[in-house]
């Protein structure tokens, strides 16, 4: 719980600074790049979280891997390393993105399907959810073959499970009690 409070403070401070400097979009773009890199390269994440690695080496790592970062993002990352808070970076990125969506009046919707959504199905889901919520929808789609078929939609704390896996589970519960 303490880690979430720490991440919130850093994300909020960075968000306010970026808004004040007119760099919200730049920092958001940098964070998308950072998030993708950390997710795609677990070894980079391990290096950044390694407490034995000295701060100067971590700063150099950021500079080498991400040479085109905005000065605000670069300074923020250096601050995190100096304060030994780099382990909170994934949470800070997520919280920053959440604040940005709130600022834009967007709603994050996570859609999980058994197979890749074909054609305009993702756009159709996005448009329908947008008309139901009255907000612009940011859709994140992922696949999970364990669902067998159908989709699972997550909006905030609500989950709408229309998967075959869930239907089979409910059928099993109704039969066996």
Domains of the chain, first to last: 2-102 (1.10.520.20), 105-176 (no CATH)
Q: What is the pLDDT of residue 112?
A: 98
Predicted TM-score of the model (pTM): 0.79
pLDDT digits (tens, 9 = 90+) for 8-49: 999 999 999 999 999 999 999 999 999 999 999 999 889 888
136 conformational bin, left if phi > 0, alpha if psi -120 to 50, beta if neither: beta
Task: Report in angstroms the alpha-carbon separations of 111 from 11, 50, 101.
Answer: 25, 33, 17
Instruction: Convert the pLDDT of each residue in 83-133 to its tens digit.
Output: 999 999 999 999 999 999 999 999 999 999 999 998 899 999 999 999 999
Q: Please report the pLDDT score of residue 48 as a whole number.
A: 87
User: Using an 8 Å Cβ cutoff, are 25 and 112 in contact?
Assistant: no
Nearest to 19 by CA among 96, 86, 108: 96
Residue 1 has a pLDDT of 57
């Amino acid at each position: 719980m303490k880690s979430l409070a720490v991440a919130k403070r850093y994300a909020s401070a960075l968000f306010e600074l970026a808004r004040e400097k007119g760099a919200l979009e730049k920092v958001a773009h940098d964070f998308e790049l950072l998030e993708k890199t950390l997710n795609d390269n677990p070894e980079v994440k391990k290096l950044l979280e390694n407490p034995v690695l000295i701060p100067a080496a971590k700063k150099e790592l950021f500079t080498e891997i991400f040479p085109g970062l905005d000065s605000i993002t670069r300074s923020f990352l250096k601050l995190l390393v100096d304060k030994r808070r780099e382990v909170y970076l994934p949470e800070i990125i997520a919280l920053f993105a959440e604040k940005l969506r709130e600022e834009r009046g967007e709603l994050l919707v996570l859609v999980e399907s058994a197979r890749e959504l074909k054609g305009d199905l993702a756009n159709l889901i996005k448009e329908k959810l947008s008309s139901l919520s009255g907000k612009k929808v940011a859709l994140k789609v992922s696949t999970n073959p364990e669902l067998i078929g159908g989709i699972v939609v997550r909006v905030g704390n609500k989950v709408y499970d229309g998967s075959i896996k869930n239907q089979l589970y409910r059928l099993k519960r109704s039969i066996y009690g």
